[in-house]
Amino acid sequence: MRCWIARRAPSVPASIERVSLSEFDLIDRYFRSCGASRADVRVGVGDDAAILECPAGAELVAAVDSLVDGVHFPHGSPPASIGHRALAVNLSDLAAMGARPAWALLALTLPAAEESWLAEFTAGFAALARAHDVALVGGDTTCGPLCVTVQVLGHVPRSSALLRSGGRAGDVVFVSGTPGDASAGLAIEQGRLPGAGEAAAYLRERFLYPAPRLALGECLRRHASACIDVSDGLLADAGKMARASGCGVEIAYEEVPVSQELARAVGAERARELALTGGDDYELCFSVRPPQVARLLSELPPERWGYTRIGMLREGPGADVVRDGAVMSFSHSGYDHFPTST
Amino acid sequence: MRCWIARRAPSVPASIERVSLSEFDLIDRYFRSCGASRADVRVGVGDDAAILECPAGAELVAAVDSLVDGVHFPHGSPPASIGHRALAVNLSDLAAMGARPAWALLALTLPAAEESWLAEFTAGFAALARAHDVALVGGDTTCGPLCVTVQVLGHVPRSSALLRSGGRAGDVVFVSGTPGDASAGLAIEQGRLPGAGEAAAYLRERFLYPAPRLALGECLRRHASACIDVSDGLLADAGKMARASGCGVEIAYEEVPVSQELARAVGAERARELALTGGDDYELCFSVRPPQVARLLSELPPERWGYTRIGMLREGPGADVVRDGAVMSFSHSGYDHFPTST
Per-residue model confidence (pLDDT) at position B336 = 44
Given a cut of 50, whether residue A9 has pLDDT beyond it is no
Per-residue model confidence (pLDDT) at position A47 = 87
Categorize the per-residue pLDDT at B13 as very low, low, confident or very high, splitting at 50, 70 and 90.
very low
Residue-averaged pLDDT of chain A = 89
Q: Which own/partner pairs from B73-78 qualify as long-range (CB within 8 Å, at least 24 positions apart)? A: B74/B186, B74/B189, B74/B190, B77/B189, B77/B208, B78/B120, B78/B124, B78/B208
CA dist list (Å): A76 to A146, A189, B139: 11, 10, 26
Residue-averaged pLDDT of chain B = 89
Average pLDDT for A207-229 = 98
Given a cut of 70, whether residue B4 has pLDDT beyond it is no
Per-residue model confidence (pLDDT) at position A24 = 58
Question: Do the chains contact at A68 and B231, CB–CB below 8 Å?
Answer: no
Per-residue model confidence (pLDDT) at position A338 = 47
Tell me the nearest-neighbour CA distance from B93 into chain A, angstroms: 5
Contacts of A143 in chain B (CB under 8 A): 68, 71, 337-338
Amino acid letter, B296? L
Contacts of B106 in chain A (CB under 8 A): 64
Given a cut of 80, whether residue A176 has pLDDT beyond it is yes
Given a cut of 90, whether residue A309 has pLDDT beyond it is yes
Per-residue model confidence (pLDDT) at position A50 = 95
Per-residue model confidence (pLDDT) at position A274 = 95
Sign for the pseudo-dihedral over CA of A79, A85, A91, A95: positive
Amino acid letter, B192? R
Per-residue model confidence (pLDDT) at position B341 = 38
Question: Do the chains contact at A22 and B48, CB–CB below 8 Å?
Answer: no
Contacts of A140 in chain B (CB under 8 A): 64-66, 149
Size of interface A-B (CB pairs under 8 A): 318
Given a cut of 70, whether residue A7 has pLDDT beyond it is no
Residue among B62, B113, B139 minimizing CB distance to A137: B62
Domains and CATH numbers, chain B: 24-157 (3.30.1330.10), 164-328 (3.90.650.10)
- Among A43-57, A164-178, B96-110, name the one with the lowest average pLDDT: A43-57
Q: What is the pLDDT of residues A60-115, one digit of tens each?
A: 999 999 999 988 899 999 999 999 999 999 999 999 999 999 999 999 998 887 88
Categorize the per-residue pLDDT at B119 as very low, low, confident or very high, splitting at 50, 70 and 90.
very high
Tell me the nearest-neighbour CA distance from A118 into chain B, angstroms: 13
Average pLDDT for B150-175 = 97
Range list of H helices, chain A? 5-8, 14-17, 23-26, 79-96, 115-131, 181-189, 197-208, 214-220, 234-244, 260-266, 268-277, 293-299, 302-305
Under DSSP, the state recorded for A69 is B
B340 has which bridge partners? Answer: A19
Question: Do the chains contact at B63 and A50, CB–CB below 8 Å?
Answer: yes
Q: Taking the CA of residue A109 as centre, how many other CA atoms within 13 Å lie in the half-sphere pointing to its CB?
A: 29
d(CA A168, CA A134): 34
Tell me the nearest-neighbour CA distance from A43 into chain B, angstroms: 9
Contacts of B340 in chain A (CB under 8 A): 19-22, 25
Given a cut of 50, whether residue A212 has pLDDT beyond it is yes
Q: Is the ipTM of this complex over 0.95?
A: no
Per-residue model confidence (pLDDT) at position B168 = 98
Categorize the per-residue pLDDT at B165 as very low, low, confident or very high, splitting at 50, 70 and 90.
very high
Share of chain A above pLDDT 90, in %: 77
Tell me the nearest-neighbour CA distance from B292 into chain A, angstroms: 23
Per-residue model confidence (pLDDT) at position B331 = 58
Per-residue model confidence (pLDDT) at position B231 = 94
Sign for the pseudo-dihedral over CA of A329, A334, B144, A207: positive
Of B72, B52, B70, the closest CA to residue B62 belongs to B52
d(CA A69, CA B290): 51
Question: Do the chains contact at A335 and B26, CB–CB below 8 Å?
Answer: no
Per-residue model confidence (pLDDT) at position A14 = 29
Given a cut of 80, whether residue A249 has pLDDT beyond it is yes
pTM: 0.90
d(CA B63, CA A106): 10
Question: Do the chains contact at B1 and A49, CB–CB below 8 Å?
Answer: no
Question: Do the chains contact at A147 and B147, CB–CB below 8 Å?
Answer: yes
Average pLDDT for B37-46 = 91
Higher-confidence residue: B82 or A1? B82
Mutation target to probe the A interface, by most A beta carbons within 10 A, among B30, B137, B149, B282 is B149
Categorize the per-residue pLDDT at B33 as very low, low, confident or very high, splitting at 50, 70 and 90.
confident
Which value, in Å, is the radius of gyration of the alpha carbons in chain A? 21
Higher-confidence residue: B283 or A336? B283
Contacts of B17 in chain A (CB under 8 A): 339, 341
Given a cut of 80, whether residue B10 has pLDDT beyond it is no
Question: Do the chains contact at A70 and B99, CB–CB below 8 Å?
Answer: no
Average pLDDT for B85-102 = 98
d(CA B101, CA B94): 7
Given a cut of 90, whether residue A267 has pLDDT beyond it is yes
Per-residue model confidence (pLDDT) at position B199 = 94
Categorize the per-residue pLDDT at A337 as very low, low, confident or very high, splitting at 50, 70 and 90.
very low
Give the burial string for A53-73 (b: 16+ CB within 10 Å, else e). bbeeebbbbbbbbbbbbebbb
A138 has which bridge partners? Answer: A105
B141 has which bridge partners? Answer: B108
B253 within 8 A of B238, measured Cβ to Cβ: no
Per-residue model confidence (pLDDT) at position B221 = 98
Amino acid letter, B253? Y
Contacts of B244 in chain A (CB under 8 A): 46-47
d(CA A142, CA B65): 9
Contacts of B47 in chain A (CB under 8 A): 97, 163-165, 244
Per-residue model confidence (pLDDT) at position A128 = 98
- Among A169-183, A218-232, B325-339, name the one with the lowest average pLDDT: B325-339
Residue among A42, A62, A137 minimizing CB distance to B105: A62
DSSP-assigned states of every residue in A190-222 = TTSS---HHHHHHHHHHHHS----HHHHHHHTT
Given a cut of 90, whether residue A22 has pLDDT beyond it is no
Per-residue model confidence (pLDDT) at position B1 = 39
Tell me the nearest-neighbour CA distance from A327 into chain B, angstroms: 24
B105 within 8 A of B35, measured Cβ to Cβ: no
A288 three-state secondary structure:
strand
Categorize the per-residue pLDDT at B77 as very low, low, confident or very high, splitting at 50, 70 and 90.
very high
Q: What is the pLDDT of residues A114-150, one digit of tens each?
A: 889 999 999 999 999 999 999 999 988 888 899 999 9
d(CA A245, CA B77): 41
Instruction: Bin B282: left if φ > 0, else alpha if -120 < ψ < 50, else beta.
Output: left
Per-residue model confidence (pLDDT) at position B31 = 81
Torsion of CA A225, A229, A234, A239, to 10 degrees: -50
Question: Do the chains contact at A60 and B153, CB–CB below 8 Å?
Answer: yes
CB atoms within 10 A of CB A278: 29
Per-residue model confidence (pLDDT) at position A31 = 81
Average pLDDT for A270-290 = 96
B101 three-state secondary structure:
strand
Given a cut of 80, whether residue B8 has pLDDT beyond it is no
Alpha carbon distance, N-terminus to C-terminus of chain A: 41
Amino acid letter, A261? E
Question: Do the chains contact at B147 and A144, CB–CB below 8 Å?
Answer: yes
Sign for the pseudo-dihedral over CA of B162, B166, B172, B177: positive
Per-residue model confidence (pLDDT) at position A74 = 92
User: What are φ and ψ of residue B176, in 5° steps?
Assistant: -85, 155
Given a cut of 70, whether residue A51 has pLDDT beyond it is yes
Question: Do the chains contact at B6 and A139, CB–CB below 8 Å?
Answer: no
